[in-house]
Amino acid sequence: MTITATDIRHGLLKHFAPPAHRVFFEVSNDTGAKARRWIDAVAVGIWPSTGHEIIGIEIKVSRGDWKRELAAPEKAQSLMRFCTRWYLACPDGLVKPDELPGTWGMLVQRDDGSMRIKVRAPKLDPEPLTPGFMMAVLRNCSAVDMELVGKLAAEKVAAREKQIDALIEREAQRRVQDVGMRQRRVLEISERLKAMTGEDPGAWSFDDRALAAAYQFFRRSRAHDRYGFGGNDLPGAINGLEQASTLLKELYEHPLMAAIRSDLAEGKEHA
């Protein structure tokens, strides 16, 4: 994977992220006709915990560019004098640590886009900031790098798409689990029906409308509350009816009931 200068700038924005830091790109030593040298980036510590450090950063993505930098040390010195620390930002492996001048540190960007400090820069003794340098930094507050904006936007879109994919995956898993639970429930009911009837419900031939009507009848008549639907419940209900019939027959044939019936019959005749 080829890492570009835009990739490095993108990584710096994440490494020196707000609100603790602000990063400014292409900052000159002064403004107007006094501008002679430019630095690729300046990271300013905003919070007290950052020490309010001003960090100068040179971005290099090729060996040739790095060698030219080493050949002209005065270029860095013209802006390093205002900085608390000075870093080289480059792809990991482009520059060896022992190639760095003594006042430099090194930030490296890995293939996943993250940056880390490979060589910590020593703390420098900066000169007081000149009004020209301060104005050069402030002038870049509103500067817009459209390529960098596009990269940041693409990253946000990719992150959102990843979230949407995760939501879809979770919903798909939930539905699969729901279908699995329903299937297990159907199998349980099928096994219970088979145990009660001695027949495999899968081999039944029936009218689905008639089955639904029968279910609604039992549900609305609350027959299930009285007798139940189970195969073991039906014989009990039949036996109960037989016992009730025997009892009624015995009551009907009892001598007292016979006398009552006779009296009632005579009363009807006299009437």
- Average pLDDT over every residue of 36-63: 93
Which one has a higher pLDDT value, 25 or 261? 25
Average pLDDT across the chain, whole number: 81
User: Residue 164 and residue 174: Cα distance in Å, rounded?
Assistant: 15
- Average pLDDT over every residue of 91-100: 93
- Same domain? For 153 and 124 the reply is no
Q: Which of 152, 185, 205 is the last residue of a domain?
A: 205
- Average pLDDT over every residue of 30-39: 86
Q: Which of 110, 127, 143 is the last residue of a domain?
A: 143
pLDDT score at 59: 95
φ, ψ of residue 36 to 5 degrees: the values are -120, -35
The pLDDT-based confidence of 128 (bands split at 50, 70, 90) is: very high
- Same domain? For 76 and 37 the reply is yes
- Same domain? For 19 and 122 the reply is yes
Query: Quick check: 218 pLDDT over 70?
Result: no
- Same domain? For 200 and 128 the reply is no
- Same domain? For 151 and 194 the reply is yes
Count of Cβ atoms closer than 10 Å to residue 270 Cβ:
5
User: Residue 15 and residue 9: Cα distance in Å, rounded?
Assistant: 10
- Same domain? For 10 and 138 the reply is yes
- Same domain? For 233 and 189 the reply is no
Tell me how far CA of residue 219 lies from CA of 43, 194, 201, 223, 259, in angstroms: 75, 21, 21, 7, 45
Which one has a higher pLDDT value, 97 or 203? 97
Report the C-alpha dihedral over residues 71, 72, 77, 78, rounded to 10 degrees: -170
Q: How many domains would you assign to the chain? A: 3
- Same domain? For 138 and 28 the reply is yes
pLDDT score at 18: 85
Tell me how far CA of residue 205 lies from CA of 102, 208, 211, in angstroms: 91, 9, 11
Domain enclosing residue 181, as ranges? 144-205
- Same domain? For 92 and 185 the reply is no
- Same domain? For 13 and 129 the reply is yes
Write the DSSP string, 130-152: PHHHHHHHHHGGG---HHHHHHH
pLDDT score at 119: 96
Q: Which of 143, 158, 185 is the last residue of a domain?
A: 143
- Identify whether the C-beta of residue 17 lies closer than 8 Å to the C-beta of residue 50: no
- Same domain? For 265 and 236 the reply is yes
The pLDDT-based confidence of 231 (bands split at 50, 70, 90) is: very low
Three-state SS annotation for 58-105: EECCCHHHHHHHHHCHHHHHHHHCCCCEEEEEEECCCCCHHHCCCCCE
pLDDT digits (tens, 9 = 90+) for 233-250: 555 555 666 676 777 777
pLDDT score at 260: 75
pLDDT score at 84: 96
- Same domain? For 86 and 180 the reply is no
